Structure 1
Amino acid sequence: MFNTPLPTVNELPSTRKLLRSTVIALLVASGLLVTVVMPSEYAIDPTGVGRALGLTQMGELKITLAQEALADATPPQPVAPAAPAAPAPQVTQAQPIAKSVAQPEVTPTPALKTNQMTVTLKPGEGKEIKLEVLKNKTVSYEWTAAGGPVNYDTHGEPYNGEKGYFHSYNKGRQVLSDKGEFAAVFDGTHGWFWRNRSDNNVTISLKTTGDYLSVKQ
């Protein structure tokens, strides 16, 4: 039976070498956190490397899937009945003295934008189209699905809002089309998310008309 001899003091790594190895390990771990973990898990890509490697898109898809799951799990909120309006009091009107009234200035109505877009979904794939809309501006829309029904969620996200927060206007499962109008509840991006749960490719054709700033596809 042989005993392994203990290393001598000269054979052990010095404190300087151990410190250098520790610093190198920390730098490598920090680099992997910034370039791989943050883009792929949280869609945060301060260096741009994650998007170049396709990791940021993976993180964005994970966040979208989490939002869809949260929206599917949230039960619809009951709408409280409106209180009956109180009768207006009877007021005796005095006869006004006729006088000239200045005509108010007429503000020209801004021209509405109209866009027609298409997007194709592979089996199991989800995609979205968003519009930049300011608060209280309205958008009318109509879309159809060719190739099979899809799940959809019409929703909006505020500029610089909390991560994961969104407002849902309406949603549905396994439908071939939808049309309507919404008024933006805040400044931000508002639009549609579709998911193809079938085994075939599905093409979405969307037409929008309204007072919005731009289209994000």
Structure 2
Amino acid sequence: MTEETQVQVEGQTTRPPSRSRLALIVGGAVVVATVVTVGFLLPAEFQVDPTGFGRATGLYKLGTPQPKTATVAAGTTSTTREYPTPYRTDTIDIPLAAGGDENRGDELEYKVQMKAGDSFVYSWSVAGIPNPEEFYYDFHGETPAGPGVPEAKVVEYKQATGTGGNGTLIAPIPGVHGWYLQNQSRNPVVVKLKLSGFYNLVPPGGYGNLNNIEANKPVAAAAR
């Protein structure tokens, strides 16, 4: 090859690709971009998987928010509890005579039977007492004396005056748990008690219900 021919070759301008080849190149790029978007980007980022490729390869999980699991330190009290005692709900009307009743109808105890660890939610109220200081209650639990229990064990929860209360109880000891109620006002009243949880009713006349109160039976106020 002569020197003149070499100069001519080096000086040649590269010819642009034909329209058909350019269309082929652009089309290929579009196809590749579509495959990447549909097969990879949508499953991984937006949890959209029209082809199923994302689920098959695990890409779908990359964009799925993962739940956080809280770690409870050893020895920490569990936040769940299961009970062998069936769940129940009861409404108890407790009539009390006016304060100073000669037959002591102005006071009584009402309790329910519970195992240690059993629990209930309670709400009680009493109407017709202008002065809340004239109604006294003692919320407590008791393991009665008996076989294997030489003397009764009592756990106090709250002693106060007032005309209502709400709360929960987890029984610390087996036995009966509830209230001693005393009406010191001049009016006969009915205490409205609602219980929900895991416990057993004490039958009328049983220990903790010596005044024969029947649950789920509305009653009128005692006579003046």
Q: Could you tell me the TM-score, scaled by structure 1's length?
A: 0.46
Higher-Rg structure is 2
